[in-house]
Structure 1
Amino acid sequence: MPDNTDTDWNLIPGSLAEIEQARERCRRLVGRRAIMSAGTSAIPIPGIDLMSDVGLLSMLINDINHEFGLTPEQIEKLNPQFKLMAYRVAIGMGGMLVGKLVTRELIIHLLKRSGVKLASKQVARFVPFAGQAVAAALGYAVFRQIGNQHVSACAAVAQELITIRPS
């Protein structure tokens, strides 16, 4: 039975090509989920888009972390030196969601950091038709930006980890 100091390198992409493949799969996933976010942003009921974005982003962040072998459970399987390195690189990249248990509060904090766009989206919603289109476009842009930033942060952590990976 392996102990916590054993490293399961099979969970993390093992080459730059594998990282690039994971990055592309995740970017396509971000695009699909951003379209879903835009769809709910177009619904003229206040608050429904925020609730939807929280759920969609939470699932997206977990899916991206998993794709790169960087969920909390996967990182826990790394030996302490590699765990520390993974978190250090994530923090340096601004990847505050890499290897973290994604909570509703964390997602709301992240969305609030995109505050101007979210406030614009809420105001735009009250303008018939054109306002809903603007809200959908802003929702798509914010969601896609957050998702792609997370993909980049995870890819950077995975790249750093393959440099120390034993042969």
Structure 2
Amino acid sequence: MAAAVQRSRRLLHRRALVAAAASTVPVPGLDWAVDAALLSRLLPQISSEFGLSAQQLDQLDPEKREKVQKAVALVGSVLIGKLITQELVLRAARTVGVRLTTKQLAKYVPIAGQAVSAAIGYATLRYLGEQHMRDCIRVVQEAQLQLPAPATKG
């Protein structure tokens, strides 16, 4: 489990840096679009590290899949085992809506505002990713799932 968490955090950190960079560009709505695009790719990758992507869950035997579905319901995640759409990402982003609004406004203040906007962009993406990771860990523990072998690069 520790290795999956470490790989997920490394991935999350890299994506959050991209979100921070996009947050500094003073183009209305660009950072929201970048955040949504990053999250719609990032969250399934995190789920996959824990064996909880839609494809991985489809391959489980029916009894194990039912245990996972019960664990997902117990945890209350709307993102585990689902095809991640922009709508789901926006629903998750509403939980940090005030931060996102502040980020939008802050970037129009020269230099200091862009730094604040970048910090908020990084923190927002990091928060949503960490929350999803915690949900994945709880589901794996509740359902007593075996984690998949790490994907090999090659």
Structure-1-length-normalised TM-score: 0.82
1:163 deviation in Å?
6.6
Q: 2:116 aligns with which of 130, 134, 147?
A: 134
Say whether the 8 Å CA contact 2:53–2:80 is kept in structure 1. yes
The 2-side partners of 1:21 and 1:73 are apart by 21
The 1-side partners of 2:91 and 2:123 are apart by 17
Gaps of 5+ in 1: 1-18
The 1-side partners of 2:123 and 2:76 are apart by 19
Find the counterpart in structure 1 of residue 149 from structure 2: none
The RMSD of aligned alpha carbons is: 1.5
Find the counterpart in structure 2 of residue 146 from structure 1: 128
Equivalent positions of 1:3-18 (< 5 A) are none
- Number of residue pairs matched by the alignment: 146
The 1-side partners of 2:72 and 2:115 are apart by 35
Q: Is 1:58 matched with 2:51?
A: no
One-letter amino acid matched to 1:23: V
Equivalent positions of 1:21-32 (< 5 A) are 21-32=3-14
The 2-side partners of 1:77 and 1:31 are apart by 29
Find the counterpart in structure 1 of residue 137 from structure 2: 155
Structure 1's consecutive aligned runs of 4 or more residues displaced over 3 angstroms after TM superposition are none
The 2-side partners of 1:155 and 1:31 are apart by 18
Partner-residue secondary structure (3-state), 1:98: coil
- CA 1:43 to 1:163, structure 2 compared with 1: closer, same or farther past 3 Å? closer
Spell out, residue by residue over 1:13-47, the C-alpha distance to the aligned partner (whole angstroms, 9 max, x if none). xxxxxx11101110111111111110100111111
- CA 1:80 to 1:151, structure 2 compared with 1: closer, same or farther past 3 Å? same
The 2-side partners of 1:131 and 1:80 are apart by 52
Partner-residue secondary structure (3-state), 1:114: helix
The 2-side partners of 1:50 and 1:63 are apart by 20
